[in-house]
Amino acid sequence: MFSTLASLARLARVGFVLAREGALALVEPSALPPGPPRWGLKLARLIERPNVGGSAERLAAALTRLGPSHVKFGQFLATRPDVVGMRVAADLSQLQDRMEPFDTAIAVKTVEAALGKPIAAVFRVFDPPIAAASISQVHPALTHDGRKMAVKVLRPQVRERFTRDLKAMRRGAELAEQFSPEAKRLRVTGVVDTLIRSVTMEMDLRLEAAALSELAENTAKDSDFRVPKPDWELTARDVLVAEWVDGIRMSDLAAIEAAGHDRVALGRSIIQSFLKHTLRDGFFHADMHPGNLFVDAEGRIVAVDGGIMGRLGPKERRFLAEILLGFITRNYRRVAEVHFEAGYVPAHHSVDDFAQAIRAVGEPIHDRSADQISMAKVLTLLFEITGLFDMKTRTELVMLQKTMVVVEGVGRMLDPHLDMWRTAEPVVRDWITRNLGPVGRIEDAGRGVMSLAGAVAQLPDTVARGERLLAHLEEATARGFALDADSVAAIGRAEAARNRWGNLALWLIAALLAYGIFAGL
């Protein structure tokens, strides 16, 4: 009870801050049910501060005032335009996870506690932080053997604060689903649950190190992309040590040109690398904004910060590849069929009608360069179609779509005339040829044979378990099911309680009848 009240109090504070900073101006009244929700919105807007600025400034001010966990929530919602809408998602994508750094002395104590040795025994130099975010901050350091490293240190008490705030967010999502069918369709509680899992993993820096290690292994043979490798001996739950990246920030176009790098080639490389990771490996960096991307001296793209990663299974990868190829070749019927084959669209809908809707999305983007295409508009249309055809939200696909928009934005920044679809086509065709062609079918058949062999090998154990279960059922049928003393006592208490309520109901009925009789006299 106390926990619920505390969550409601935190939600009330969130509502007040959002209203005070003017963030509720982003809510469209017509999207709310008539009656109390719309009246509440009007009342809440009465307490707005004057001169609160544009929509992005309002959201940034409100979420920053609410604290690190809400900034992280805002950044996460930027990946879910299906939930908050493209306009709000665009504003949230500008939200910078930049916090005031905590004291270096605290960071030193955290490192020493995590590694179990004095800081001087680990690093010859440990400098003040160069970047601070909601969960951690990064310090440059130099090891005794001369290696320059990036040391990420978790904020003090961050787990406790996030646990409290995320619990309140979960309660708010439950309330939204109770009162809004659209919130239920969009699985708002699932959105918060995904955030909770993501943040929980992000607050164990060993898991981020594992993500970087896996991505490094997957891209070891790629000539145009790499990630910094973690130092496992110096990594713990609260500390991550990885190689320092000497490179040019992707957003510094003047420095990239001055260093002699080919911006057009980099733009093509960023998109094709992302698609390779997604289709080939099923594991991709889901936070590839310019602040996390560098260009090294050899012209390779270096991605840092593996806190947010995405993963796709074989089914989702095939879905993505066929969807992209369908758009590239304008085969909208096949795009529609893939949705139905994957079970994403309920079978009672028409494939032809869905293909017609997909055509409305695909036709406007063909034969145009990236500077003429609004991927935000494309995604908006896709999400509208999702609602029209009762397609349930697929979290991993929505994150993928949002990351594709961010990656395309980086590519367009490097090359304003980049055509994402023509750039994507070679990677998509190679994957489909390799995995859906003769070789891929033979490999699928081989995996199927192995699975069947495994099932056959387990058949004797399965039969034995079935025989034992059948013997137990026959014995129970003959002798009856035995209950222990605790079960019998529990049944007795339940029966007694039911009798008490039954008697109370009878007395209540009798009283009402008596009242009716006397009232009639």
* Runs of H (alpha helix) within 158-204: 158-179, 181-185, 188-202
Contacts of 345 (CB under 8 A, 6+ apart): 339, 354, 389, 390, 391
Q: Given phi > 0 = left and psi -120 to 50 = alpha, else beta, which region is 260?
A: left
Sign of CA dihedral 312, 313, 314, 318: negative
Pairwise CA distance, residues 87 & 89, whole Å: 5
The residues annotated with a catalytic role in the active site are 287
Output the six-digit token pair for 359: 């055509």
Output the six-digit token pair for 32: 């709310």
Half-sphere exposure of residue 93, counting CA atoms within 13 Å on the CB side?
24
Under 8 Å between Cβ of 125 and 141: yes
Q: Of the candidates 385, 380, 325, 394, which has an alpha carbon nearest to the alpha carbon of residue 353?
A: 385
Pairwise CA distance, residues 408 & 401, whole Å: 11
Pairwise CA distance, residues 418 & 336, whole Å: 27
Full 3-state SS string of 363-417: HHHCCCCHHHCCHHHHHHHHHHHHHHCCCCCCHHHHHHHHHHHHHHHHHHHHCCC
Pairwise CA distance, residues 150 & 241, whole Å: 6
Question: How far is residue 179 from each of residues 173, 188, 195, measured CA to CA in Å?
Answer: 10, 12, 22
Question: In angstroms, what is the C-alpha Rg of the chain?
Answer: 29
* Burial of 131 from C-beta contacts in 10 A (0-12 / 13-18 / 19+): middle
Output the six-digit token pair for 241: 């040590």
End-to-end CA distance of the chain: 48
| Three-state secondary structure call for residue 291 | helix
Q: Given phi > 0 = left and psi -120 to 50 = alpha, else beta, which region is 103?
A: beta
